[in-house]
A and B are shown apart, each in its own frame.
Chain A
């Protein structure tokens, strides 16, 4: 039954646009029907048209070549830019690739093909994570003698555009003297883009200057510890990842938004067409290994969580935050975490929670359960017992 709802659900969620709406849209602007194909709602289409128009106009103004040589055509310049933008959008190309950036918190994150676009949910989770880290630090500074000696070391696995690392720095750096963030991704393109984003946001004044020294992006393969074939593509790409992880001797926090889409929901329409066509599959669907059975996993798409959690237990990381696709995946990851903890004999001082909490107090509708969530694993002890007071809905 559950399978069936997965298969047919998404088709129901994409009804035809009434011709009345299309007519309305055309009356307001002849480009709106194009956008309607992807946006599905008139309000959103109008907003997107506004954003694209602003960008097209500012592009035309900032382009000195065009203004000098073809002055009378200036007006036409932005219009044709806008038209081509709208055409691209109607083919399903993500708005962020067309405009080249996406706001993320107070930052502007540049986006390009082959790198996953930052999502709104990730933004919310990063804000929550920054709160948790800051609170942790405050507690630690109360218990420690010298608050200036506090240092927080964060590792951001599968960083992509680097959005999580950069926003965390923007939010946490004012409270912490020594902050170091390492972003790791398997894709060279992503690492290049993340470095560009770092420089871009410092230049815009949205990040502190010290971010340049505090944040580093390195290429690495999270799945390297797995029993993999030599023929695995990911390992071939991985540039001695084990060494990068090993040189970084000690970490306090692991945060990650790994690929979490299952093969099935990638194929059956749960994943939007635009995402499948334009965004990199490697950032969405975990790879399948031939001998994956050696790992005690119920679902193939959870493979990243297995590796990240094992790493965290090996390193005795104090705080782990993982974004998951929906609440059922979140619960699977929490269970996985408990079984791994038993394996590593670190069960007693562990606090596992899912955020936002899925308890009975808020009446969650069906699609709120299908929203992404974040699994938070906190290690108690070290004088910060109070940090785990609130979100312990799932600790049992």
Chain B
């Protein structure tokens, strides 16, 4: 075709564009299509199959009621409705030739509109109306496409749950402990601003005269959906400042790791069985046989012989080696309950992460390295000297550190930006996943 052994991509695109260039409005529409239909065919196919499932299930539901089905239908409903909206808007704009074969319902109106536009004998008034119609749809389309994408993202398994927020100082010694305390204060302020009920389950203070050097803290945020709101915070928070412990005025960098864990509600609260931790079939079931309980105690006789105030409990999950110790309450019973709550949360989070990792490995073939934020990644920097807070995922910088550390507007803004970033990520991943599945399907077919 070409004489040259290779050709620069840009030149190729340009020449191709010139070849295909056409003065007719047809091509404008084509440009419009590539612009707004940011949804890949794979995603569209998925949306359609889900919508089919929705209509099938709701038909079934009309006859027999089933709580599980009803829940599924509830999950699918937004997808179905957005897809309908999208298809409607789209069908007005584009020729069916370009968009595949699925707009059979709307073919009539589209062909009419197109024939109207293409027919040189159409009178001017009608033509302008048709163009106007096209324009308004063009404006609405990106928003609808966005909504559709959001609807397609699978719901996070823990999205509805309250959460546990775990704070641990990382590198940086005393200074990290000091900053961990400030991070804890930030989230407490955030919770009280948002009106979430919270309780400090565990607060271990490092050895030393000061009370404000955390070695570990667990904050329970007891509001449904808190997990979804706070899960943007999971990761390593870095601080750059001149610590109070520094004598020579040098800036130090230290790190605090924050983890968001799901807090499972008590059994019998009517939640679905996949989250019921006492159900052995649940993914998040922890077998009590695999957990060793230790009471910290001195040797010697017990019972009436001594009056122990020591109420500490340590749980060890033997298969994973997860250890939780709890000593804050005077009641051994309460300590055990809280320790179980934390243990269960940690194991559930680890299992979910493992599953996510599996998905990432699956995608890696198609996408190369997929950016994935794990607990080990630095996510945010608090720089006191420059009075700024930067989130490394969304790239947002706020030049008012206090409003972030007070858990106020600043923190809210940062979290919101991360949330949109997360959505974008998810969509990307979803598209890749679908295309991988398509490829595999194609590969499987010829055999």
B-binding residues in A (CB < 8 A) = 9-10, 13, 24, 27-29, 39-41, 43-44, 47-48, 51, 94-96, 102-106, 116-117, 119-124, 127, 257, 259-261, 265, 270-272, 274-275, 279, 283-284, 323, 325-326, 367, 370-372
Contact = CB atoms under 8 A, between A and B. Distances in A.
Nearest to A122: B303
Contact of B299 (A41, A257, A326, A367): A367
B319 interface: no
Contact of A259 (B207, B304, B327): B304
Contacts of A43: 312, 327
B443 interface: no
B330 A102 contact: yes
Contacts of B304: 116, 119, 257, 259-261, 271, 275, 283-284, 325, 372
B256 to A, nearest CB: 23
B310 interface: yes
Contact of B303 (A39, A47, A119): A119
B330 A51 contact: yes
21 contacts: A10-B301, A13-B298, A40-B298, A43-B312, A47-B309, A48-B309, A51-B330, A102-B330, A103-B333, A104-B333, A106-B334, A116-B304, A119-B307, A120-B295, A121-B302, A123-B332, A261-B304, A271-B304, A272-B306, A370-B302, A372-B303
The 9 closest A-B pairs by CB, nearest first: A103-B331, A372-B303, A272-B306, A367-B299, A13-B300, A271-B305, A95-B309, A120-B332, A371-B302
A270 B208 contact: no
A28 B209 contact: yes
Interface in B311-338: 311-312, 327-334
Nearest to B309: A95
A242 B271 CA distance: 52
A28 B330 contact: no
Nearest to A272: B306
A265 B305 contact: yes
B435 to A, nearest CB: 54
B303 A323 contact: yes
Contacts of B310: 44
B298 A105 contact: no
A312 B310 CA distance: 35
Nearest to B311: A120
B156 interface: no
Contacts of A271: 301, 304-306
Residue of B305, B306, B331 with most chain A CB atoms under a 10 A cut-off: B305
Interface string B328-371: 11111110000000000000000000000000000000000000
A28 B208 contact: yes
B308 interface: yes
Nearest to B336: A124
B298 A121 contact: no
A47 B203 CA distance: 11
Contact of A275 (B208, B295, B307, B327): B307
Interface of B: 207-209, 295, 298-312, 327-334
B311 A270 contact: no
A117 B330 CA distance: 14
B177 to A, nearest CB: 14
A9 B298 contact: no
A275 B333 CA distance: 22
Given A106-B333, A275-B306, A370-B302, 17 more contacts: A24-B207, A29-B209, A44-B309, A105-B331, A105-B333, A122-B303, A259-B304, A260-B303, A265-B301, A265-B305, A270-B305, A279-B307, A325-B304, A367-B299, A367-B300, A372-B303, A372-B304
Nearest to B295: A120
A103 B334 contact: yes
B305 A272 contact: yes
Contacts of B302: 119, 121, 370-372
B305 A261 contact: yes
A28 B213 CA distance: 12
A326 B298 CA distance: 16
Contacts of B299: 13, 367
Residue of B300, B304, B328 with most chain A CB atoms under a 10 A cut-off: B304
Contacts of A41: 298
Contacts of B328: 47
A9 B413 CA distance: 63
Contacts of A325: 301, 303-305
A96 B307 contact: yes
Contacts of B307: 94, 96, 117, 119, 272, 274-275, 279
A40 B299 CA distance: 13
A95 B332 CA distance: 15
Nearest to A6: B301
B297 to A, nearest CB: 8
Contacts of A370: 300-302
Contacts of A257: 304
Contacts of B209: 27-29
A103 B329 CA distance: 9
Contacts of B303: 119, 121-122, 260, 323, 325-326, 371-372
A268 B352 CA distance: 55
A369 to B, nearest CB: 11
A355 B240 CA distance: 56
Nearest to A9: B300
A274 B329 CA distance: 22
A270 B300 contact: yes
A47 B299 CA distance: 20
A28 B301 contact: no
Nearest to A105: B333
A103 B335 CA distance: 11
Nearest to A266: B305
A364 B320 CA distance: 24
Contacts of B329: 103
Contacts of A104: 331, 333
A261 B304 CA distance: 7
Given A265-B305, A271-B305, A325-B304, A103 B208 contact: no
A137 B209 CA distance: 54
B67 to A, nearest CB: 25
B410 to A, nearest CB: 33
Contacts of A48: 309
A138 B71 CA distance: 33
